Amino acid sequence: MIAELGLAALWLAAALAALQLVAGFLAVRQNAPVGEGELALLVRPAAVVQGVLCAFAFAMLIWLFARTDLSVKLVAMNSHSMKPLVFKIAGAWGNHEGSMLLWVTVMSAAGALIALIERRLPERTMQATLAAQGFVALGFYAFLLFSSNPFERLPVPALEGNGLNPLLQDIGLAFHPPTLYLGYVGLSVAFSFAVGALLTRSVTPDFARAMRPWVLGAWIFLTVGITAGSYWAYYELGWGGWWFWDPVENASLMPWLAATALLHSASVLAARDALRAWTIMLGVVAFSMSMVGTFLVRSGILTSVHAFAVDPERGAFILILLAIYIGGALAVFGLRASTISEGERFALVSREGALVVNNVLLSAILGVVLLGTLYPLLTEAMGVRVSVGPPYFDPASAIFALPMLLVMAAGPLLRWRRDRLQRVGSPLLLAGLVALAGLVVASAWASPGLLPLLGLALGAGLAVASLLPLRGRNLRRLPLATLGMVVAHFGIAVALIGMASDSAFSEERLAALKVGDTAAVGPWKVTLQAVSPVAGPNWNALEGVMAASYAGGEPVLLTPQARTFWAPPQETTESALDTRWNGQLYAVLGKAADGERWQVRLWWKPFVTLIWFGGLLIALGGVLALLGRVAGDLKRRAIRRKGAARRAEVAA
Amino acid sequence: MKAWRFFLPLAIFLAFLGVAAWQLTQPKDEFVHSAFIGKPMPQFAMRAAAADRPGLALADLKDGKPKLLNIWASWCVPCAAEAPQLAALKAQGAPIVGVAIRDRPEDVAAFLSRYGNPFDRIGADDLSQLQLAIGSSGVPETFVVDGNGVIRYQHIGDIRASQVPMILEKLREAGQ
């Protein structure tokens, strides 16, 4: 019964999405004034009810997973009655069908929210926006209902479930995909706003202000999702790396790059009414990147370490959706963009100028990543198999990232419209000196490669430069959005130092140890004390007990495990980490080398934690900016309400 | 502002769409082709891995008759699963020589008495030297070696029942 309720809610929601599309489209076509076209009145309520129904369907799916209802195919395929409850619930979206349902749920909830609260834009633009939102949702409902029905029943209930991929039985999974989805879907709202503004030819600063919180929210979730995903890969896969340029990682990075560019160009549009066509274009591109990512991941067209349920038929379905939405939006862009007037002009040396350079360079990095991700696809079409890895991505993205970071140091100090470089010369000189000092210190400490060295120097300089906009300002009257920018830029510098330090100073040791043997890595001495079996709820493991002592100090105990799950059968490594202020010791227990020796892999990674700490700072900056924008908006609304009330009093 | 520039993103997107759609309809060839086909076997001579069969050396492969060279180990579970297929190949007249990887004589004897012994000769490769030299990365693997000691085919993984005729065909081709 639960499954049938969920399915019925899903069909009803799809019908409402269709209503939202048709009513919105007709209302825009008729050009009816607000309140007169009866269809137009249906658009907002349809969006709200659709959101409620979809959330209901998703709640039903979670309920099915929590009860482990094995008569439902999806539950039997992906869950197991002996699993801990938190992973049963996380299992609801740890698979293709469930994650697609999560996707439309978040999207319809976002649609409901804009239908409820967004009143700044002309009503026609809002109707076009909601119609676009309904159109996108409709495609995903069709995808769910016709090709990936999460509520499908088995003819005969299964006796026991298949279990969840053990790599995913981790608390990180419970939050990583939903976080990324919130990001992707937030970009779908930006896309709908862009299409709505384009169709009604009202690309205005108001449009940028209405879209900005959604981009900002999406960007925060993408930042957190990428940071968490990177840390998960780092400790769960046991390879000691934190970024692999895997197609699935790139699929999350590309929307982030596009969203970052969009965020900055929307700021220019909101503040100075410039970059109109470019902002619209980025709105379309940001969402296409999340859809291209979904397509690449789900179709199995590229080989990835992420073993998703890959299915060419589903790939074809997503490709068709991609063709309709993105092709359609870009065609409308081609037809309409030339009718959007150019907007305000500005000098090269100005805040806008720096933001344009930032946008161009971010787009270039996006192009580099996109090309590298799609290149195997291109060459395979010509019969050659290649895989593209760090030797391409690292230098090619650095070529654009390094100048971008330089501009990032200077940009926030510049004034809008027109400025002179001499005015900001002395603060920039300070940042440059710090960068130079960083360069000298780093090259004296070790002899890293060119890129890590530049990264360390730039990171140091940028950390100082990012704080300079606070100079001479009253911190208590500083707008939250400005503080957010400072924090996010500082986070970039912190993450950069972490990345560069990891590749410059990491030390690795692979040793075959008998119990009682000691291996050294960096300042650490690690003794293998014992290897013993341990059992968990649905796995058993060999656990190594290692005493690690830093520079001869008091030893800490590390317990890396080699786990064997029995539902489904699979082996995973659980690395053990010891975090100090200046880095992390990373230990992995491998196979028995022969009768009595064990393969042990150790890394000492100085300052590696700064990567994720920086990522969180970037997201925190986004949160501060979002709070500032929303608070400002609420204040303006309150003032307007008060003004209206006073006028009414005067009139009475 | 030239209007055509605004269609540039659409053109790039359509190009991507075309490649992706074409690629999606193509059958995916996931098979890894061996780089060792056509290469001669290296010089080697291995002691006997079992009491009742002689060891294996390069000269044994160069006797003019094509053979199957099976890389296996008593500790390898898929090798046990493969045993009926090797027996079937043997019954259909395929000469098979074995290379036991990192194995002990008593374990080899126990395995052969349990799962049958299709091998004419079994060499012991205690350090995986021959295995690595001929580009084999796991057990079991089966090579078709012609009468002059040249590798003609490499089969990675266990031979399934459905693949027995294909292996026999490769062996016949190697004899021509």
Could you say which DSSP state residue A83 is in? S
- Cross-chain Cβ contact A338/B6 below 8 Å: yes
Residue A566 has pLDDT above 80, yes or no: no
Contacts with B21 from chain A: Cβ below 8 Å: 316, 319
Name the residue facing A301 among B6, B17, B20 (closest C-beta). B20
Residue to substitute from B22, B23, B26, interface A, most A β-carbons within 10 A: B23
The answer to whether residues A484 and A624 touch, using CB atoms and an 8 Å cutoff, is yes
- A578 closest CA partner among A590, A570, A586: A586
- pLDDT tens for B158-167 read 888 888 999 9
How far is CA B4 from each of CA A198, A276, A334, B9, rounded to the nearest angstrom? 17, 17, 8, 10
Domain residue ranges in chain B: 45-175
CB-based contact, B132 to chain A, within 8 Å? no
SS3 content of chain B, % helix, strand, coil (to 5): 40, 20, 40
The structure tokens 């305000």 sit at A344
pLDDT at B96: 94
* Res. A596 pLDDT band, cuts 50 70 90: confident
Residue B30 has pLDDT above 90, yes or no: no
Inside any domain, residue A476: no
CB-based contact, A494 to chain B, within 8 Å? no
* Res. A312 pLDDT band, cuts 50 70 90: low
CB-based contact, A326 to chain B, within 8 Å? yes
Q: From the centroid of its chain, how far is CA B49? A: 20
- Cross-chain Cβ contact B9/A342 below 8 Å: no
Inside any domain, residue A572: yes
Inside any domain, residue A208: no
CA distance A378 to chain B (A): 7
- Cross-chain Cβ contact B23/A326 below 8 Å: no
Residue A381 has pLDDT above 80, yes or no: no
Partnered with residue A518 across adjacent β-strands are: A527
Residue to substitute from A275, A291, A377, interface B, most B β-carbons within 10 A: A377
Residue B174 has pLDDT above 50, yes or no: yes
* Res. B143 pLDDT band, cuts 50 70 90: very high
Q: What is d(CA A487, CA A463) in angstroms, rounded to the nearest whole number?
A: 10
Q: What percent of chain A has pLDDT over 90?
A: 28
Q: The domain containing residue A545 runs over which residues? A: 508-606
Task: Calculate mean pLDDT across residues A1-9.
Answer: 90
Name the residue facing B6 among A319, A323, A333 (closest C-beta). A333
* Res. A445 pLDDT band, cuts 50 70 90: confident
Task: Calculate mean pLDDT across residues A146-153.
Answer: 87
Task: Calculate mean pLDDT across residues B120-141.
Answer: 88
Top pLDDT among A101 and A235 is at A101
- As to burial, measured by CB atoms within 10 angstroms (0-12 exposed, 13-18 middle, 19+ buried), residue A408 is buried
- pLDDT tens for A115-126 read 998 888 888 888
CB-based contact, B22 to chain A, within 8 Å? yes
pLDDT at A277: 87
Residues with Cβ within 8 Å of residue B124, at least 6 apart in sequence: B46, B47, B48, B49, B55, B99, B100, B103, B105
- Compare all CA atoms of chain B with the CA of A381 and give the residue at the minimum distance: B23
pLDDT at A568: 60
CATH of B45-175, one of 3.40.30.10, 3.30.750.24, 3.30.70.2190, 3.30.70.360: 3.40.30.10
Please tell me whether the interface predicted TM-score (ipTM) of this complex is above 0.90. no
- Cross-chain Cβ contact A381/B3 below 8 Å: no
Residue A84 has pLDDT above 90, yes or no: no
pLDDT at A307: 45
- Compare all CA atoms of chain B with the CA of A311 and give the residue at the minimum distance: B24
A390-410 and A480-505 helices, crossing angle to 10°: 140
Name the residue facing B13 among A315, A330, A335 (closest C-beta). A330
Task: Calculate mean pLDDT across residues A263-279.
Answer: 89
Structural domain count of chain A: 1
Task: Calculate mean pLDDT across residues A449-459.
Answer: 87
Whole-number average pLDDT of chain A:
85
Highest mean pLDDT among A185-194, A345-354, B18-27: A185-194
Could you say which DSSP state residue A119 is in? -
pLDDT at B127: 84
CB-based contact, B161 to chain A, within 8 Å? no
